[in-house]
Amino acid sequence: MVRRKIFFPTRVILQMVIIPVVIVVCMALFLFGIHSTVTSPQQFVISSGDSVSGVANRLLNEKLVDSVQVFKMAVRMNGGKIQTGNYDIPTGASVWRIADMFANGRVSSTTIVIPEGLTIKQIKNLLLQSSALTGAVECKPGNKAPVCDLRDGQIFPDTYTVARGTNRLAVLDLARKKMLDVEASLKRSVRRLPKPLKDWNDVIILASIVQKETPQIREMPIVASVYLNRLNRGMRLQADPTVVYALTDKLGDMQGAPLLRNHLKIDSPYNTYKNKGLPPAPIANVGQHAIGAVLKPADTSYLFFVADGQGGHVFSRDYETHKKNHAAWREIKKK
């Protein structure tokens, strides 16, 4: 019996090799790049001490992946470790994407806006209202960290983007350090302070008053000039925000109550109706524009100003004109 040799065409051999490879590649792409069990946005928290296996099982239980082994393999291909934090897992996230997020610490973030002109007490209340942050706003007894002894004027109002779950004290410290950076930068660029200001503390004290007096950036240098003119003439500043600061125990907000004439008699070093010169410390946390207005005030001879009923102020050089402007303001309030 003659046995014939069987020869497979090259095309058949290639098909026998390539087709299984293509199938494996397609399955891998399906598992890692296309396939997802995440049907809606989910939040996932990895705490300190969580293992890859433990996280994989939680993901499986929450139906965010459908294979513990595939997730663990994806983590190994991303370095083998996962990082603690709060994660936002989007709809349609694959196993590979989830593993990449966890391994590279692509945590979810939140934006914290600290407006200009708030006091430390108001800023702490603001942070407590954010559910994206954790922890207290007060330090434990005995903690001597700089953030534990914050005073008004030491925080820089700004927009801060931090990871979800960030401690509230850490946010305060971030804003404190930003203020130090701003101070250092301005000290390098400013050669001479306007008279009679002596140091950076004086600048921030006056800037805090300017910040509270007007929200209009264009007015700030004029308001600063008024107070500098009064200081140079030995006049009392007679700034309402300093009285409010004293009346509210440094909260800086009357919470809807009116400021009455009798309030101007309060016995406090912050009462600039009774005491000459600057108050002993800033009455709010100030932004770049208020600081800049004090460092570069307008060149005016104004000594008085009063609200104009349209969000701005009317300025005057003498008391007689100021009385007329004040009377006009009272009429506006009546209407």
- Give the residue extent of every domain in the chain: 24-44+53-103, 111-187, 193-334
> Per-block average pLDDT, block size 10, for the chain (335 residues)?
57 63 59 77 94 97 93 93 94 94 94 98 98 95 95 98 95 98 93 96 98 96 98 98 98 94 96 98 98 98 93 94 90 80
Residue that the structure tokens 């009385």 belong to: 323
Q: Which residues of 75-109 are buried (b: 16+ CB within 10 A; e: fewer)?
A: beebeeebebbbbebeeebbbbbbbbbbbeebbbe
Inter-helix orientation angle 168-189/120-128, to 10°: 140
Give pTM, 2 decimals: 0.83
Q: What is the DSSP letter of 76?
A: H
Question: Which pLDDT value is given to residue 54?
Answer: 97
Q: What is the C-alpha separation between 89 and 7, in angstroms, rounded?
A: 54
For residue 179, the model assigns a pLDDT of 98
Which pLDDT score, from 0 to 100, does residue 261 have? Answer: 93
**Could you tell me the two tokens for 248?**
């509210």
Instruction: State the pLDDT at residue 16.
Output: 64
As a 3-state breakdown, the chain gives helix, strand, coil percent values, each rounded to 5, of: 45, 10, 45
Tokens 């001490």 identify what position? 49
If DSSP codes are grouped into helix, strand and coil, which group holds residue 162? strand
Q: What does DSSP assign to residue 153? A: T
